[in-house]
């Protein structure tokens, strides 16, 4: 069977077009559904070596993962060039939805570790994006 170059190009163009549509739809769904959470923290006196920090981190990470959270990036902050106190770190976490992110930080599991958080940190911000 002999296929002309024009037919091959046509078939490849159609496949490329269908692939582009599929990628666009997947990307559109992901952008609509996912929620990026920015966690900003200032450590308490014991820093990352305190038993409260270690236990809070272990249980908080497990709780976040149970709700579909994936840590995208971790940053240790060197300097604040703006106003206010310098946080010690920032975490960027992606959740499958805004609702999943809300459930993570309002769950019974998370509420149980709030006393550890209050000892391990001077300040914590949990910022949900849309």
19 plus 62 within the same structural domain: no
Global model pTM greater than 0.85:
no
Taking only the tens place, the pLDDT of each residue in 85-110 is 999 999 999 999 999 999 999 999 99
Taking only the tens place, the pLDDT of each residue in 49-98 is 999 999 999 999 999 999 999 999 999 999 999 999 999 999 999 999 99
41 plus 75 within the same structural domain: yes
Report how many helices (DSSP H) and strands (DSSP E) the chain contains, helices first.
5, 4
Q: Which residues contact 122 (CB under 8 A, 6 or more apart)?
A: 42, 43, 44
25 plus 38 within the same structural domain: no
């Amino acid at each position: 069977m002999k296929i002309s170059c024009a037919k091959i190009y046509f078939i490849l163009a159609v496949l490329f077009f269908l692939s582009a549509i599929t990628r666009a739809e997947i990307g559109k769904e992901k952008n609509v559904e996912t929620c990026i959470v920015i966690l900003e923290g200032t450590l308490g006196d014991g820093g990352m070596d305190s038993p409260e920090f270690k236990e809070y981190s272990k249980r908080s990470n497990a709780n976040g993962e149970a709700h579909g959270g994936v840590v995208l990036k971790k940053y240790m902050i060197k300097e604040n060039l703006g106003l206010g106190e310098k946080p010690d770190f920032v975490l960027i976490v992606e959740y499958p939805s805004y609702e999943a992110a809300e459930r993570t930080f309002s769950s019974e599991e998370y509420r149980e570790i709030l006393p550890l958080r209050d000892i391990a940190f001077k300040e914590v911000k949990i910022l949900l994006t849309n």
